[in-house]
Structure 1
């Protein structure tokens, strides 16, 4: 538990000036996988979502899922990264920049392991990243992750459910365009 406290302290001491303020394209030859989670306490459920784009910023795929369980915000965010990486491994893609809006999860991914349910989730994420290869983690503020937030929240409404490479709904296209213009 001391390691988890250390990761949380690291979060408060980390300079946020390096956090991405708006969505940006990945490095040339890389993909970008944005992840997010949304909690709905009234129904004890969470929506997980991720968006995959190429190095030109073009939409490749998105996926979301609704799960019924009681998780903390940091556990839900880590679970979203884990599920997104599992999906990416399943479709055989790598060389990806994974961007999340949870500074706690980002910091813990860059620290040593610790024993807790949250620590086990983080260890799963690290193991998947090593298996895939070419995975880099980045932290972005919420406003740089709007499209993925929309996908995660869409899991509650069953509006954007799909697997593999799907075509985004018109409402998502507006958010994707917003990301690229700002």
Structure 2
């Protein structure tokens, strides 16, 4: 099990690092404005095992780690639905923390545009309505679209679920596998 975990972890990180080496412009994560927190959410897929990994990371306006969570969801979703469900789950989890003034970022433009538009009738539309309902219960939630390269930490958390098939959450101190992501995000 440990060997499988290590292999999957290396594979996920080599893909991210390989893109950086190919000369693709990698944008960096940026902290939110003073007094706000930033929530990055990501959904990863393991189609062979019919599993999705949802992961999110919460950081303050200095870029300090506040919390992270990963969870496993059985089933296959379309990418847009999975990303929207991940944002909904992250906001539902935040509801219990009494943290407000949140910049919630997604790296799928379609989800961002749906969150900023009127309701529409479809499965995806109903999920988006759920996200909006949960967001309305938290003070000061704003949605943003970001490039995937700025969402690296939440991507790593979500990939961990797929490789480990387990849930977990952390407060104040990040899991060791995220430390390099945070250091990279905070250096120029």
What TM-score do you get using the length of structure 2 for normalisation? 0.82
> 2:67, 2:173 within 8 Å by CA — same for their partners in 1?
yes
User: What is the match of residue 49 of structure 1?
Assistant: 55
In structure 2, relative to structure 1, the CA distance for the partners of 1:159 and 1:181 (3 Å cut) is farther
Within a 5 Å distance, the mapping from 1:20-31 to structure 2 comes to 21-31=27-37
CA RMSD of aligned residues (A): 1.7
User: What is the match of residue 37 of structure 1?
Assistant: 43
Within a 5 Å distance, the mapping from 1:121-132 to structure 2 comes to 121-132=127-138
Per-residue deviation, residues 44-82 of structure 1 (Å, max 9, x unmatched):
110000000011000011001011111000000000000
SS in structure 2 of the partner of residue 55 of structure 1: coil
User: What is the match of residue 151 of structure 1?
Assistant: 157
Give the total of aligned pairs.
163
Alpha-carbon shift at residue 21 of structure 1 (Å): 3.1
Instruction: Measure, in 1, the Cα distance between the counterparts of 2:169 and 2:187.
Output: 27
User: What is the match of residue 87 of structure 1?
Assistant: 93
Q: Which runs of 5+ in 1 are unaligned?
A: 1-19
SS in structure 2 of the partner of residue 168 of structure 1: coil
1:119 counterpart = 2:120: no
Q: Which runs of 5+ in 2 are unaligned?
A: 1-25
User: What is the match of residue 98 of structure 1?
Assistant: 104
